[in-house]
């Protein structure tokens, strides 16, 4: 089985409204990286100042970079048939799926989220952000918030997860029927399993325990799960998935 460990940098947080500025892909065979690819991308739009402050990527750096459609085929060929691995995988996957679709390529990959895997295999950490998780596990992280640096650190993290997965967490998450494929990375699968197929009221909380959504349903499990299904990378859904804990 081959994995594509991916990190991207973007002009903002929503796939349908923002562009990609950098892509890094490490092909991993389950033991080591066998191939690496990275490229800057000219998104054809202004780079917000806060993005430049975060990543160091500015418009001058991207002036001579290829447009996404110029590298879309190469990116698609690297990802096609691989398991797509990323930290907060739905973010990276939604961007690449959306922009590949605009270029005429239909990306369909099984996904693994290193946030969700880490919560199961390395429980009890104070934070599961990439930077803090790397500090806790003594993973070198260079060029933070640049695609290649983050992809390399995520690849090392993925190695550790494979080595320490003594309970078969990763194979379970890879099952096509696994509902963990669509759950927000910070939501425990057990919370969904415990829901009854009965009428009731439900709510979602953010990381601080604040209630951010209240709903009612005739079938609690079916209705709650429906919030996380669907492939359209719209802004509201992406915000929702990132917020829920």
Domains and CATH numbers, the chain: 3-180 (3.30.420.10), 189-243 (3.40.1440.10)
Tokens of 171: 């194979």
How much of the chain exceeds pLDDT 90, in percent? 67
Q: How confident is the model at residue 176 (pLDDT cuts 50, 70, 90)?
A: low
Query: Which of these, 89, 86, 84, lies nearest to 241 by C-alpha position?
Result: 89
DSSP symbol at 181: G
Q: Structure tokens of 76?
A: 């698609």
Structure-token match 């806790």, residue found: 136
pTM metric for this prediction = 0.77
Beta bridge partners of 200: 217
Alpha-carbon distance 104 to 33, whole Å? 28
pLDDT, mean of residues 24-51: 97
The lowest-confidence range among 31-35, 179-183, 206-210 is: 179-183
Which pLDDT tens digit goes with each residue over 138-168?
999 988 889 999 999 999 999 999 999 999 9
Encode pLDDT of 89-119 as tens digits. Answer: 999 999 999 999 999 999 999 999 999 999 9
Mean pLDDT score across all residues of the chain: 90
pLDDT class for 177, splitting at 50, 70, 90? very low
Nearest in space to 105 (alpha carbons), one of 125, 126, 81, 122: 81
Is the Cβ–Cβ distance between 233 and 100 less than 8 Å?
no
Please state, in angstroms and rounded to a whole number, the distance separating the CA atoms of residues 145 and 151: 10
C-beta of residue 199 within 8 angstroms of C-beta of residue 212 = no
Cα(197)–Cα(107) distance, rounded to whole angstroms?
A: 33
Q: pLDDT tens, 213-228?
A: 898 888 888 888 888 7
Cα–Cα distance, 8 to 134 (Å, whole number) = 18
């Amino acid at each position: 089985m081959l994995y594509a460990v991916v990190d991207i940098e973007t002009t903002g947080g929503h796939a349908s409204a923002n562009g990609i500025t950098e892509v890094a892909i490490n092909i991993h065979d389950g033991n080591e990286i066998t191939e690496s690819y990275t490229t800057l991308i000219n998104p054809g739009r202004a780079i917000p100042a806060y993005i430049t402050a975060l990543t160091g990527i500015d418009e001058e750096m991207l002036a001579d970079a290829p447009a996404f459609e110029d590298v879309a085929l190469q990116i698609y060929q690297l990802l096609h048939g691989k398991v797509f691995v990323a930290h907060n995988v739905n973010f990276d996957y939604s961007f690449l799926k959306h922009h590949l679709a605009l270029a005429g390529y239909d990306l369909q990959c099984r996904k693994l989220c290193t946030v969700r895997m880490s919560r199961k295999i390395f429980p009890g950490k104070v934070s599961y952000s990439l930077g803090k998780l790397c500090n806790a596990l003594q993973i070198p992280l260079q060029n933070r918030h640049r695609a290649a640096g983050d992809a390399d650190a995520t690849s090392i993290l993925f190695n550790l997860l494979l080595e320490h997965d003594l309970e078969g967490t990763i194979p379970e998450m890879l099952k096509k029927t696994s509902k963990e494929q669509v759950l927000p990375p910070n939501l425990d699968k057990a919370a969904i399993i415990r829901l009854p197929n009965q009428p009731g009221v439900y709510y979602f909380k953010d990381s601080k325990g604040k209630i951010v959504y209240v709903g009612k349903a005739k079938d609690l499990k079916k209705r709650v799960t429906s919030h996380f299904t669907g492939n359209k990378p719209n802004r509201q859904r992406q915000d929702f998935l990132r917020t829920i804990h």
